[in-house]
Structure 1
Amino acid sequence: MTRTEMLAQAPEVYFPVRTKTPWGQIIQGGIVILVVIWVVGAFAASGVFDFATVVQYLIGPQILLGVWNTLTLATLSTAIALVLGTLVALMRISKNRVLSSAASVYVFIFRGTPMLVQLLIWFYAIPRMVGQVKLGIPFTDVIWVDQPASTFFTPFVAGLFALSLAETGYMAEVIRSGILGVDAGQRDAAKALGVPRSKITVQIVLAQAIRIVMPATANQYIMMIKNTSLAYTIGYMEILLTVSRIYYANFKYLELLLVAAFWYLVLTAAITALQHVLERRFPAR
């Protein structure tokens, strides 16, 4: 019997795989936990804030209204920016130089100026420039809105215009990167098969681009949740203005700011969880 035959007939012997205990990772994690416990304990024991006040206002009706207003403005602004950003992104990659140049100028202006400045322009300057707002169906007697611009541009309307148009500049670049990330060979193959250009753009390019940019879009939504705090300056009752009016009355500054921070974290966590669900449901590849 040869050596090969003897090895083939020999019983198989299994040796257990031993892994080293990751003491380094355990020690590092323990240090982090201890530091967090120490910081939280020192903060709680310092007596600089009243925990009972935090609990009192955490789910108060005024605070919940501010949370709802924040979520409403952020969601509508992001949705509008997603639609307009898609149009601007398509203009940016267009072979028409007029369209691509106009889109480039739009992105440059709205990304290059602070959102706060744009908010103030829409609330204070635009009404004076417009004078009277008159909306309806052209060449008919159907009029939906006919009132002074100062009345029409409420804090919510001004904030919606400003945040939506500003976010469109960022969203356009996000979507453009997703469009460029789609393999050009798919477009060429669709053209060779005689698929109309509109179907190629919507059903092939944008359908994949939206999946590619989904994490970045969720990140922009989270940024918009926080950017709504800028509407504080024009009197929109979002989270920050709501808590500020309360702490100006009771002087519980830190407690109310902690309440605001808590709700911003809650909204961010909810959007992040929704993002993970959508990413698993609609993977990029």
Structure 2
Amino acid sequence: MKAPAPALAAPQAQAVPDEDLHTVPVRHWGRWATAAVVLVLGAGTLWSLAKNPNLDWATVGEYLFHETVFSGLVTTLWLTAAAMVIGLVGGTAVAVMRLSSNPVLSLLAGLFIWFFRSTPILVQIIFWGFLGALYQELAIGIPFTDVTFFAAPTSELITPTIAALLALGLNEVAYAAEIIRGGIQSIDPGQAEAAHSLGMRPGLTLRRVVLPQAMRVIVPPMGNETVTMLKTTALVSVIAGHDLMSNIQDVYAQNYKVIPLLVVAALWYLLLVSLLSIPQGWLERRYGRGTSSASASPLRRLLAVRPRTRKGAGA
């Protein structure tokens, strides 16, 4: 018998130097075509608005930096900042109460969140604005007795601006509480247990261990809440809160130039929201380091310079 022929050895793959490798990016023609269509439609819309004589750009320029507009702008910024501070501080307290093992505290926090999230913010603003129709006088004293330490007319204490602040702040407490509660619950319970084993008190554990890690989950929705709060302040115009939208309405109620004045308001809101997006993006990247959520903005990705590939000597 003949011995079987030896099997042919498989050819060995030859290593290719790195400088001989060529990277060919995938062409996404559909994406570029879609982007071109969107840009053309957007440019056409802007051109139509810019050339529309009914827009009255002269009036827009006249009132864009008007004293009345600046006065309302200050009130809008003040209401936004104060309401968000109330929302963050109160929301943290309500979230801790909601997670408490004490059933009474948990129930009260749940009822607070249920009430303020279930009623429209416009209803709450009007209610606080017309609180004097319910209580003509606000007093501080001993309950169930006639002993009073302080009393004053409601209309003097609850001005339209204070009413707007109460409505916006308390409403924000309810939403912030749920955001903060979700952030706290996203942290592994072992983190708190490890801190307790080191002798840290629950309050210190919450401030030093749990909340810093929960910020990665809390910051993005709270940033959106801040932007929403800035725009929600426009609703206080129904009680003459002297915000930006209230003052704009006062102006076009006199000169009847509604569209140009609304353009003034829109331009200021666009600018303020754009400015708020800068610290929000920085905080998201700051607390999202080491995670997939810490990605670059679309503008940075668009302007990013791709590394050049080196061609081999034999190419």
Is TM (by shorter chain) over 0.5? yes
C-alpha spacing 1:156/1:13, structure 2 compared with 1 (3 Å): closer
Residue 102, structure 1, aligned to residue 103, structure 2: no
* Residue of structure 1 equivalent to 2:156: 151
Give distance in 2, aligned partners of 1:11 and 1:253: 69
**Could you tell me which amino acid in structure 1 is paired with residue 232 of structure 2?**
N
Question: Which one of the candidate residues 193, 198, 204 is aligned to 1:193?
Answer: 198
Deviates more, 1:125-134 or 1:65-74: 125-134
Q: Which has the larger radius of gyration?
A: 2
Give distance in 2, aligned partners of 1:254 and 1:33: 25
C-alpha spacing 1:6/1:59, structure 2 compared with 1 (3 Å): closer
Residue 119, structure 1, aligned to residue 125, structure 2: yes
Q: Which has the higher helix share?
A: 1
Number of aligned residues: 275
* Residue of structure 1 equivalent to 2:4: none
**Could you tell me which amino acid in structure 2 is paired with residue 31 of structure 1?**
V
Secondary structure at the counterpart of residue 20 of structure 2 = coil
Question: Which one of the candidate residues 269, 275, 279 is aligned to 2:274?
Answer: 269
Q: Which runs of 5+ in 1 are unaligned?
A: 136-142
TM norm structure 2: 0.80
Contact 1:62 1:242 in 2 (8 A): yes
Secondary structure at the counterpart of residue 95 of structure 1 = coil
Q: How does 1:37-52 map to 2 (within 5 A)?
A: 37-52=43-58
What's the offset of the Cα at 1:127?
6.5
Give distance in 2, aligned partners of 1:265 and 1:79: 22
Give distance in 2, aligned partners of 1:89 and 1:153: 28
> Identity of counterpart residues, as a percentage?
33
What's the offset of the Cα at 1:62?
1.1
Q: Which runs of 5+ in 2 are unaligned?
A: 1-8, 142-148, 291-315
What's the offset of the Cα at 1:160?
0.9
Deviations 1:235-267 (A, max 9, x none): 111111111111111111100001111111111
Give distance in 1, aligned partners of 2:287 and 2:13: 54
* Residue of structure 2 equivalent to 1:139: none
What's the offset of the Cα at 1:128?
4.0
Secondary structure at the counterpart of residue 129 of structure 1 = coil
* Residue of structure 2 equivalent to 1:31: 37
Give distance in 1, aligned partners of 2:281 and 2:118: 31
C-alpha spacing 1:11/1:242, structure 2 compared with 1 (3 Å): closer
Give distance in 2, aligned partners of 1:115 and 1:3: 75
Deviations 1:219-244 (A, max 9, x none): 11111111111110111111111111
* Residue of structure 2 equivalent to 1:208: 213
**Could you tell me which amino acid in structure 1 is paired with residue 137 of structure 2?**
G
Give distance in 1, aligned partners of 2:13 and 2:174: 74
Question: Which one of the candidate residues 43, 60, 65 is aligned to 1:59?
Answer: 65
What's the offset of the Cα at 1:21?
4.0
**Could you tell me which amino acid in structure 2 is paired with residue 70 of structure 1?**
T
C-alpha spacing 1:13/1:212, structure 2 compared with 1 (3 Å): closer
Give distance in 2, aligned partners of 1:5 and 1:176: 59
Secondary structure at the counterpart of residue 271 of structure 1 = helix
